[in-house]
Each structure stands twice: as C-alpha cells, then as structure tokens.
Structure 1
Amino acid sequence: MNSRLVRLVLFFCLCLPGLPGPALAADAGAPAHPMQVVVSILPAAYLAERVGGERVRVETLVQPGHNPHTYVPTPLQMARLANARIFFRIGVPFEAALITKLRRTVPDLTIIDLQEGIELLPAEESDEEHHDHRDDLDPHSWLDPNLARLQAERIHAGLVALDPPGRQAYDRNLAELRKDLQEIDRTLRTILAPLAGQTIYVFHPAYGYFCRAYGLKQKAINVQGKETGARHLARLIEEAQREGVRVIFVQPQFSEKTAATIAEAIGGSVVALDPLAYDYLDNLKAMARRIAAARPAGE
C-alpha cells in the first residue's frame, strides 16, 4: 500500500507545471541567454543554427529577395552587430566595407571567415571585358555541400572558442549535420550523374562550385553585375541554339528580362534557382531536380 502511495505522489509531482521532468533533461545545459550570432546570408544561417542549436540566436543580414552584391545593412542590423558575439563572413561583396567598419566600431566582435582553407574559384568575366580582375574570386562556395561541411566545421570551432561549456552540444549537432550533408551529396550525385559534362545556362554565375562538384559546366548571361552587351547576347543565343538549350536559369535576386529575351529567341523558358535560400538541403535537391528536368541525359 505504501509503495502504491509513493508511486502516486511521484506521478502527480511530475505532472505539476513548473517542475522539471525527464523530458527536459536534454535542455538542462542550454544557456538562459543564447549567444548572439550574425551571418550575411541565409544558407550560412542554416549552418549556424544547425551547429549552434538552442545555444545561439542567429541574425541574417541579407533577407530574401535582396542582392548581396549591392546590399547595405540597416541601422537596426548595425545595432545588432554591435551587440553580437561573433560574425561569420562568407565572402559576399558587401562584407568588405562592412568588416572595415566593424573592426573600427566593434573591436571586440569575433569575425570568422567561413571560406578560410577553401580553394576558391576565380570569378567569371564576360569575353567583352578586358579589365584586370584576376584577383576576383567566386564567393558561392556554399553550393557544394562538401565545402559547406568545412564551413560548418569553422562555425563549430568559433562557437566552441566562445562557449566552451557548449562543446558537447556543438559536437553532437555538427555530427548530425555532417551526416545530412553527406546524404545530400549522394542524392545530388545520383540525380545529376546522367548529365555529366553538360552545360547549364544561368543568368548569374553562382553555380561554379555546384557544377564542379557534379560534373557540369555553367555559362553565365550576366557577369560582374553589368548589363549584357548586344554582341555577347547574340553569341549566347547562337550557342544556346547550337547546343539545344531549352531553359535559362534565373534567380530571384536579379531581373529576368535578359534571360527571358534569350529564352524567347531559342524557343525555351526560364526556370528559377535560388542559391540564397534558407532551407539548404531541400533547396539543393530542388535545384538538382530542376536542372535534371531541364536537360535530360543524352539530349
């Protein structure tokens, strides 16, 4: 009888609000105030949130629809940067001026380059341009999930350095993310293997790392952020017709006008890809499927 009474008392205690139970044990080590983390773009936010979990609060500067080539942080975002612990940069153009300012105004802010240790591709240039941009590099490395894994490891190292008590949680989160990145890499290889060696026509040259990883080539309509010249446009139309291209890939951060002109000339269509989408894994899979559907093997 006594043992039954003890069990009943324990049951009601666990059901009372405000009393911790076994289900909350996993959250016991989470800090009352998460670390303030800032990133430039949504794919980096995805990686930071996956690695940081409940121990971080991530602020993304470039919101959906905005262009990181021309972006200027808002006053509110600058204020949040002033209160942040760490900023993960990823090489997009607006960061250079921002970081110069941050080093002067927020000297205690930890800044970590997610591209450190990655061999970057040169940025593409139009055949019509002859200025010297040999030092320009393509920042879109996150579109290769194998490179995204390296970036996640950089995030992990940065978080552990500032929050040593969170190491166990960060280790666990990174291990889970690595598995997901390996799985999406296998999925993309399966989807894109039949297209090996083929060329995709894109408005903006954001897919160099993605194409290199999966045996494709990209041909860009717009390079260096400039309007496409008539001669270059005519050559692109001729090449697309010769290669049997039926789809021009666009992205929501840029106007579709020039791409639509080419698509109309070749009797094709425009299809959207978004290299800056937040839902990183599903977005890569969607990109691969759209590319595969637009360019069937053997065409």
Structure 2
Amino acid sequence: MNYYYKPLSVVLIICVLFVSGCSEKSQTQKDDENITVAVSILPQAEFVKQVGGEKVNTIVMIPPGASPATHEPTSGQLRDLSNALMYAKLGSGLPFENSWMGKIRSVNDDMLIVNSSDGITIRNNDPHVWTTPENSKIMVENIYKGLVQVDPENKSYYSQNKDEYMQELDELDSYINNTLSGYENRSIMVYHPTWEYFAQEYGLDMIPVELEGKEPTAKELKRFVDVAKKKNISVIYVQEHFSKSSAESIAKEINGEVVSVNPLAKDYVTNLRNVTNVFAENLG
C-alpha cells in the first residue's frame, strides 16, 4: 500500500509547493507595485519623487512645453488618471485647475485629492507659490501626508525621504539668502509676474510688465522704460509661453537684454539655484 501511495504523496507535496510559490510570487509582485500619483506641474512631480522615491510613479498633467494657462488634458492623461490613488493639486488658483479639476475628479471618484498649498498664504491671487523653498516645504509636507494616507505601510520610508529633502530645501533657502544679500539695487523687471513670492521672501522689488494678463499699452511701455532707467535695470526677465515683444521693446530702449528664467523646471533645487545666480549677476 505504501508503495502505491508514495508517488501520489510526492506529487501532492510538489503541487502544494508550486501553488505556495506562485502565491508568494504573486504577493511579492503586488507588494512591488508602485502607487500612481498625479500632479499639475513639474515642480510638484519633483516633490512627489523626493518623498515617494522608488515606490511612486507620477503623472504630470501640464507637461514640459505646455502652458499652465491654456493646456487641456489629453484623453491619454485622463485615462491614466483612472489608476491614480492620489492627485496633488497646486491649489493656489492655477488656471488649468480652475478649468479642469471638476473633470479630473469625475474620472476617478476614489482618488484622494491633496491641496499642496494648504497652509500657504495666497497673495493677490498669484498661483506661483512654489517659487520659494519655504512654501515648497509646506507643499512637500502636504504631499507626504497624502502619500501616508493612501499608502500607510510605507510611512517610515516616506518620512525619511521627506526629512532629507526638507534639509535640502533649508540649504537652498540659505544659499538664496546669502547669494542675494549685499546688493544695493534690489529691483528686477519681469514680463509675467511669476516671481512675486520669491521677491517678497528675499527683499527684491519685482516690477511686472504684464498687467492682469494684458499686454501693456504704448503709454505703459514708455513708463516701464522710464522706471527701468531710473532703477538702473538692464535686464527684462521672461519665461516660455509668453510673448517677448513688450520685453524686447523695453530692452531695446534701455540698451538692455531679455533673459529667460524657468519657474517650471523639474529639478527644483538646481533650477532655483540657477535662477538665483542669474538674478544676482544682473543685480550686480
């Protein structure tokens, strides 16, 4: 009897081990799956990456080269949102979010919506809150809390990443303060008023050429030329997706130049250091 049942027992043991192995492999695959987080702009994607590390995939709704004022989400982006566990909206009045958050919510009712700007004082309806390290630290904290809510098992991992990145942001803040200190001339002229939070944080006088989203009139351009000469300004700062004609007109009249600075670069720390260096060079 034992002779006949022994092979059957071996087969059963092999089957059990096989099923157990498959189950363990399946569980491992499940554990290794990244969670998907959607954001509105590239700097937020950097914040999610710094906190979420290898455990998070990011969907950026306003891709490089697109305008935050006019971009419309593609069908592919909306389809990808159906797999997201969390959407970190900017929450500070970004035109894209004003127009599309209702649609974004409807695509995935179960998706956690996190307001990255919660706790930041919004000034003059200006959405560009991410342009200072202090505001970015608040955004990172909000993103961290959202990640812990949707993925509590990895709280300690997210916490360690967050603390390390917060230190980088503190170092960036010190770098900006040190780099911009000591200049008597504190005025910068920009086409689009992107840098208001930055200017107020570091004691700069930002003079925007664009007024409430409108091109300046010929009379206003003349006034900006006079202001630039009076304040010894030789550079007009612009960013992509906005007309440069007015900035170029002013630069021509003051024998100055037009310089591009990008507030939407993904590598947040490196970019803000570069922008600071550009401002400092021209303040000097």
TM-score normalised to the size of structure 1? 0.82
Indicate which of 216, 221, 227 corresponds to 1:233: 221
1:104 corresponds in structure 2 to 106
CA offset digits 1:174-209 (Å, max 9, x no partner): 010011000000000010112367110001001011
Q: Distance in 2 between matches of 1:277 and 1:99?
A: 23
Letter aligned with residue 126 of structure 2: D
Shift of 1:211: 0.8
Residues 55, 224 of structure 1: alpha-carbon distance in 2 compared, 3 angstrom cutoff: same
Letter aligned with residue 66 of structure 2: H
Letter aligned with residue 274 of structure 2: A
| Residues matched between the structures, number | 255
Alignment of 1:255-270 (within 5 A): 255-270=243-258
Q: Does 1:220 align with 2:208?
A: yes
1:288 corresponds in structure 2 to 276
Contact map agreement 2:52 2:158 (CA 8 A) in 1 = yes
- Root mean square deviation, CA, Å: 1.7
Letter aligned with residue 238 of structure 1: D
Contact map agreement 1:196 1:214 (CA 8 A) in 2 = no
1:139 corresponds in structure 2 to 127
Could you tell me which runs of 5 or more consecutive residues in structure 1 were left unpaired when the two chains were aligned. 1-27, 123-136
2:173 corresponds in structure 1 to 185
Contact map agreement 2:36 2:86 (CA 8 A) in 1 = yes
Residues 207, 29 of structure 1: alpha-carbon distance in 2 compared, 3 angstrom cutoff: farther
Shift of 1:105: 3.6
1:64 corresponds in structure 2 to 64
Moved more, 200-209 or 226-235: 226-235
Moved more, 99-108 or 162-171: 99-108
Q: Which has the larger radius of gyration?
A: 2
Shift of 1:69: 1.3
After superposing on structure 2, the runs of 4+ consecutive aligned residues of structure 1 that deviate more than 4 Å are none
Q: Does 1:279 align with 2:281?
A: no
Could you tell me which runs of 5 or more consecutive residues in structure 2 were left unpaired when the two chains were aligned. 1-27
Letter aligned with residue 127 of structure 2: P
SS in 2 for 1:194: coil
Which one has a larger percent helix, Structure 1 or Structure 2? 2
Letter aligned with residue 76 of structure 1: G
Q: Distance in 2 between matches of 1:47 and 1:29?
A: 26
Contact map agreement 1:62 1:71 (CA 8 A) in 2 = yes
Residues 30, 159 of structure 1: alpha-carbon distance in 2 compared, 3 angstrom cutoff: farther
2:79 corresponds in structure 1 to 79
2:149 corresponds in structure 1 to 161
Moved more, 164-173 or 64-73: 64-73
TM-score normalised to the size of structure 2? 0.86
2:232 corresponds in structure 1 to 244
SS in 1 for 2:119: coil
Shift of 1:256: 1.6
Contact map agreement 1:35 1:85 (CA 8 A) in 2 = yes
Letter aligned with residue 158 of structure 2: Y
Instruction: Among all aligned residue pairs of Structure 1 and Structure 2, give the percentage whose two residues are the same amino acid.
Output: 34
Q: Distance in 2 between matches of 1:104 and 1:65?
A: 26
Residues 181, 196 of structure 1: alpha-carbon distance in 2 compared, 3 angstrom cutoff: farther
